[in-house]
Amino acid sequence: MRRAGKVCEILGMSANVPTDIVFSFTGLIRRGGETGPHRDGWGIAFYEDKGLRLFHDPEESSRSKIAAFLQSYPIRSEIVVSHIRKANRGKVALKNTHPFVRELWGRNWVFAHNGQLKGIKKVKFDSFEPVGTTDSEAAFCWLLGKLRRKFSTPPAQPALIKEIQKLFAELAERGVANILMSDSNLLFTHCSNRLVHITRRAPFGKAQLLDADVTVDFQKATTEKDVVTILATRPLTGNENWIHYKSGEYRVWRDGETVSTNLKA
């Protein structure tokens, strides 16, 4: 088994049918204290339509009873955002555990981040204020405040996608901004230096986790029409072709497919 780096790890999913993420989550949580050093809490958000199920735990994920429960209780969702934490800024506490959540325009927004962002905790906040002490939550609050200031009602999708691209790029100027964010409709992603993705679709094959002796045959759990994209800090399986984001890459997902990217084809 491979050893993880000394940063937080993020995990996301975008799918065109409600899909459970137990397989990927099983790999991720091993990195929280067992195959990785991310002992400082973890969290996961599952969207169901506009609603949200949230699980946060300041315990290390590899020993967390809630994480163990979630492995036995598959929750099906089209958008999932998860995070395991290695504390850099902000002490170990529930309030500092990603993903962070806020409501804007009557939508639940969630945000998970790895990296460090200089000076973001000292900005003037507008509408949204951090509860905890992480630079990540501060970045999220700053971003949503900017969005609300620019658009008092939700803009059309292209304008929203463009504005978030600009705000992510501004955050990236402060340091490392590997980000997963959703508004319950789209999954907005940005990579500074560590983010990979894989899209699984028919014909589905088998996959073998790197962090646990677990294999899954996706063909048994899917239909021909299913499209499921998984995003992670590092590849979770060893026998599949994960694609590495480029530095500065911005990519927006919906139903498992890329809706928008700043990469030239």
| Interface positions with a copy of itself (CB under 8 A) | 48-58, 65-66, 69, 73, 93-97, 101-103, 105-108, 127-132
Q: How far is the CB of 125 from a copy of itself (least distance, A)?
A: 8
Q: How far is the CB of 184 from a copy of itself (least distance, A)?
A: 8
Q: Where are the beta strands (DSSP E) in 85-162?
A: 100-104, 107-114
Contacts of 183 (CB under 8 A, 6+ apart): 104, 107, 108, 109, 160
Q: Give the residue among 34, 73, 36 at the shortest CA–CA distance from 55.
A: 73
Catalytic residue among 1, 6, 7, 8: 8
Q: How far is the CB of 116 from a copy of itself (least distance, A)?
A: 21
d(CA 142, CA 128): 7
Choice between 93 and 123, CB closer to a copy of itself: 93
Choice between 148 and 244, CB closer to a copy of itself: 148
Choice between 56 and 190, CB closer to a copy of itself: 56
Active site residue 191: no
Choice between 115 and 130, CB closer to a copy of itself: 130
Measured from the Cβ of residue 97, the count of other Cβ atoms closer than 10 Å reads 25
Q: Provide the β-strand partners of residue 201.
A: 227
Q: How far is the CB of 212 from a copy of itself (least distance, A)?
A: 22
Angle between helices 157-172 and 135-150 (to 10 degrees): 140
Q: Which residues are catalytic?
A: 8
